[in-house]
Structure formats: C-alpha cells, structure tokens
C-alpha cells in the first residue's frame, strides 16, 4: 500500500505546436487520487489467533512461538522470572472520498482495526498462556 504523503502537486508545462505556445496542465492529482484510495497506515504484527491453539503449555519454546507468530512488538522480563511477548497491531485507512475538500468528512469512510496479544513463558522458556483482545472494526 502507498503511504499517505503531504499535498498533491499539479505540474504545469509549456508546449509549442506549429509556433503556438499553449499551457498544458498535467493533472498528476488524478493519478495520486487512485493511490489515495488505498491509503492506510499499518504498524505492528497481527497475530492469527487460530495459530494460538498450536502452542502447547509446558512444551512450546519462545523461539518456536516467534517462528509461528512472527516477531513480537515487545518483550518484557517480569519480576517473577517469566517473560511476556507482546504483539500490538494497528491498521487505519481512508477511502479516496475522504480527501475531497469540504465534503470528504461526510462522504468518505475510514477503517480501523487493532489488537493486542500477550504470550507468557516460564523462566525455563516454556509457554504458559496467552491473553489479549481486538477492537471492533
């Protein structure tokens, strides 16, 4: 997906045809609007919760969990000796209508999805449990 950028430039060029000079506007904005239709910001690692059933308490290691779920957003060493892997995910987007001046706020639609998933491991590097949640889209 294309990242959202600042303003959309409109280029102007001068063309000469048969001795006449005309000003031709290259409406780059038309192409950019197509890219803005897919404008979204995504951060973190989204956990496929169906894969969490493949983790076995007392057996699965942290390395195996990371291989299955991807790189965690954060790792915490807890005072009791356990380790918590944190997976945070956020995705926000807007459709092209949202960028129409004055009326975009009324016509456009936005999407949002976020989740937090935590996995806890024993001091001996074995999976214990997971918890987390997801915001309603």
Domain ranges of the chain: 1-38, 41-134
- Confidence check: pLDDT of 115 > 70: yes
C-alpha 17/C-alpha 35 separation (Å) is: 33
This prediction's pTM: 0.62
Measured between alpha carbons, how far is 26 from 13 in angstroms, rounded to an integer?
A: 7
- When mean pLDDT is compared across 8-17, 33-42, 49-58, the lowest value belongs to 8-17
CB atoms within 10 A of CB 89: 19
Please tell me the predicted confidence (pLDDT) of residue 85: 96
Tell me the average pLDDT across 105-132: 89
């Amino acid at each position: 997906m294309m990242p959202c950028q600042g303003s959309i430039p409109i280029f102007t060029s001068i063309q000469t045809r048969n001795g006449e000079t005309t000003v031709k506007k290259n409406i780059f904005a038309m192409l950019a609007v197509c890219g803005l239709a897919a404008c979204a910001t995504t951060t973190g690692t989204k956990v496929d919760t169906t894969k969490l059933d493949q983790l076995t308490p007392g057996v699965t290691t942290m390395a195996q969990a990371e291989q299955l779920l991807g790189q965690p957003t954060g790792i915490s060493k807890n005072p009791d000796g356990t380790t918590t892997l944190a997976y945070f995910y956020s995705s926000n987007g807007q459709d092209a209508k949202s960028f129409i001046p004055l009326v975009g706020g009324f016509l456009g639609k936005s999407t949002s999805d976020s989740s937090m998933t935590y996995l806890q491991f024993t001091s001996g590097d074995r999976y214990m449990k997971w918890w987390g949640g997801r915001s309603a889209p």
